[in-house]
A = this chain, B = another copy of it.
Amino acid sequence: MMIDRIPGGVTAAKGFKAASCAAGIKYAGRTDMAMLYSDAPCAVAGTFTTNVVKAAPVLWDRRIVYDVKSARAVVVNAGIANATTGEAGMETCRQTADCAARALDIPADSVLLGSTGVIGPNLPMDRISAGVTALAASLSDTVEAGTDASRAIMTTDTVNKEFAVTFQLPAANGEGNVTVTLGGMSKGSGMIHPNMCTMLGYVTTDCAIDQALLQRALSAVIQDTFNMISVDGDTSTNDTLLVMANGLAGNAPITEEGEAYALFVEALTSVCRDLAVKMAGDGEGATHLLEMKVTGADTKEHARMLAKSVIGSSLVKAMVFGKDANCGRVLCALGYAGVEFDPAVIELYLVGESGTVCFCRDGAVQAFDEDAALQILSEKKVSFTCDMRMGGEEATAWGCDLTYDYVKINGDYRT
């Protein structure tokens, strides 16, 4: 199976257009609204925050994904999250969708919505309306339009996140293969501890695939991608990941699990993992990408729990920031993951481009080369590997270090 990385993001697949604009919702001097549009109706799948407090656009999108199951467009704003806004927030959703529906000549219940930013305030409807009108008038299928959209949805992100891939599937007309494209963008830097999916993420593909299978693929893929990252342990009120498939690639529609479905899952995994890891490395204030790989676990779920426990530990995160090889903290975080294991047999390594340092063997911390550890801890990506020696399952989680800038950014976010 071959998955090829190509440039671009949400406009990479056939029939998808994007636009962005500066609507002046909160930020000055930058774009803060984006629109995605498909020339053809899309099967849509989604996963949403498990937070009991769900933002209005999450409630709106859930209805479309669960009941309508198809969509044509997405409207996203940055700056204000439209969360804990009560009935007024839902009315804003209705008006935004109506506005987009008129401008694009599509049904209002085919318009998905996304918001990110401060929790509490209401969205300024006049600016949103003006933004939607401007966006609808400037849709473009260029790579640049997709890139600009990925920038417009950023909040405290320091870099935009977009990836795209292609792969080959049998053609619908039976004559050889066609190229299928899948691309995505996401934003997220703080309040990131997804539990079903993460912050805002949008994946578009021209693959022809049954809606139920699309949802099944997404639900499987997020377990080892977006659900394996954490910046600060805070599960947002707005987490939304949507996948839209318009079928314009011309492949024989995927209607059951099999070779084509497996290839699609592999492509979706590739884009989602790249987006998720890039989000983790761009966590608020981060200076390092933190990776924890657990091998030899008895179950897949235990491997995930162990890996996530380490990348969620404030003490491990602060130690990575300080380049301090205080590896006992990694063992401690494994120990409170909620998984039974035998501390007397595990092996823990620090792995970098410059080499590998063994921290722990048979449950006892080993003497190690401090200089070698410091050199690895000075690299941009800091990776730990722990062999639990219980079985054959493994998982990897990604996070970032805890820095002065994280505190600074979040001590004064509203102003």
CB within 8 Å of B: which of A253-292? none
| In the assembled complex, A312 has its CB within 8 A of some CB on chain B | yes
Residues of B within 8 A of A343 (CB): 52-54, 84
Q: A407-B402, A410-B322 are in contact. Are A344 and B86 (CB under 8 A)?
A: yes
Q: Which of B53, B83, B121, B335 contacts A237 (CB 8 A)?
A: B335
> Across the interface, do B120 and A411 meet the contact criterion of CB distance under 8 Å?
no
Q: Which of B119, B121, B339, B409 contacts A52 (CB 8 A)?
A: B339
Residues of B within 8 A of A365 (CB): 84-85, 119-121
The distance in angstroms between the C-alpha atoms of A281 and B413, with both chains bound, is 24
Q: A237-B332, A318-B410, A319-B411 are in contact. Are A360 and B84 (CB under 8 A)?
A: yes
Q: A119-B332, A324-B413, A343-B53 are in contact. Are A364 and B404 (CB under 8 A)?
A: no
Q: A404-B404, A415-B324 are in contact. Are A234 and B84 (CB under 8 A)?
A: no
> Across the interface, do A324 and B411 meet the contact criterion of CB distance under 8 Å?
yes
- 12 further contact pairs, Cβ within 8 A, besides A51-B336, A84-B360: A53-B332, A54-B335, A54-B343, A83-B332, A84-B331, A84-B343, A86-B364, A119-B326, A120-B327, A120-B365, A314-B410, A318-B410
Contact with B along A70-88 (1 / 0, CB 8 A): 0000000000010111111
Residues of A at under 8 Å CB distance from B?
Answer: 50-54, 81, 83-88, 118-121, 190-191, 193, 195, 232-237, 312-315, 318-319, 321-324, 326-329, 331-337, 339-341, 343-344, 360, 362-365, 402-404, 406-415
Count copies of this chain in the complex. 2
Q: A195-B336, A336-B195 are in contact. Are A234 and B315 (CB under 8 A)?
A: yes
* Interface hub of A119, A406, A409 (most chain B Cβ within 10 A): A119
Q: Which of B52, B324, B402 contacts A336 (CB 8 A)?
A: B52
The distance in angstroms between the C-alpha atoms of A88 and B334, with both chains bound, is 21
- Taking the nearest CB of chain B, how far is it from the CB of A70, in angstroms? 29
The distance in angstroms between the C-alpha atoms of A235 and B340, with both chains bound, is 15
The distance in angstroms between the C-alpha atoms of A84 and B318, with both chains bound, is 20
> Across the interface, do B322 and A411 meet the contact criterion of CB distance under 8 Å?
yes
The distance in angstroms between the C-alpha atoms of A83 and B412, with both chains bound, is 38
The distance in angstroms between the C-alpha atoms of A142 and B191, with both chains bound, is 50
> Across the interface, do B332 and A363 meet the contact criterion of CB distance under 8 Å?
no
> Across the interface, do A318 and B406 meet the contact criterion of CB distance under 8 Å?
yes
- Taking the nearest CB of chain B, how far is it from the CB of A349, in angstroms? 15
The distance in angstroms between the C-alpha atoms of A410 and B335, with both chains bound, is 19
Residues of B within 8 A of A344 (CB): 86
The distance in angstroms between the C-alpha atoms of A86 and B319, with both chains bound, is 23
Residues of B within 8 A of A403 (CB): 407
- Taking the nearest CB of chain B, how far is it from the CB of A196, in angstroms? 11
Residues of B within 8 A of A328 (CB): 81, 83-84, 118-120, 237
* Interface hub of A118, A335, A341, A412 (most chain B Cβ within 10 A): A335
> Across the interface, do B233 and A118 meet the contact criterion of CB distance under 8 Å?
no
- Taking the nearest CB of chain B, how far is it from the CB of A319, in angstroms? 7
